[in-house]
Amino acid sequence: MIALASDHGGFDLKAAVIKHLEERGLEYKDFGTYDKNSCDYPDFGRAAAEAVAQGVCDRGIVICTTGIGISIVANKVRGIRCALCSEKTSARLTREHNDANMLAMGGGMIGEVQALEIVDTFLDTPFSEMEKHSRRIKKIEE
């Protein structure tokens, strides 16, 4: 299951991601926000990150206007490795090298087509399992 969250600035892109996940037959849990009224991204980003950290969800996707604030919030939760990505190569490499368990995107920074390509890359790319990458992740966790 994929944890989703956004603030008002990421709401439209989150809606597109939800439709895309449904088309792919993937389960998700939406932690809000549920409309375009101004709100605080930490409330929703933290809830999604906690669900991933606790194992309720396997991965997470969080979206605010830039992706910066909500990625910072997610990374405050122990066990989360959230990567802000604006193109497919970073999404692929953060999965292969960092075993990132959350993806952040900026709803005001990238278009829907590109965002959905990033989502697919992030969800479909496995961790490399290379010793050097595992060693580095262990150091991050410590």
Count of residues in the chain: 142
33/48 Cα distance (integer angstroms): 11
User: What does the block give as tokens for 119?
Assistant: 């989502």
How far apart are the C-alpha atoms of 96 and 129, rounded to whole Å?
A: 8
Which tokens sit at 66?
A: 């830039």
The active-site residue, picked from 8, 20, 97, 133, is: 97
Catalytic annotation present for 97: yes
Catalytic residue among 57, 64, 82, 85: 64
CA atoms within 13 A on the CB side of 25: 0
* CA neighbours closer than 13 Å in the CB half-sphere of residue 114: 13
Q: Which residues are catalytic?
A: 64, 97
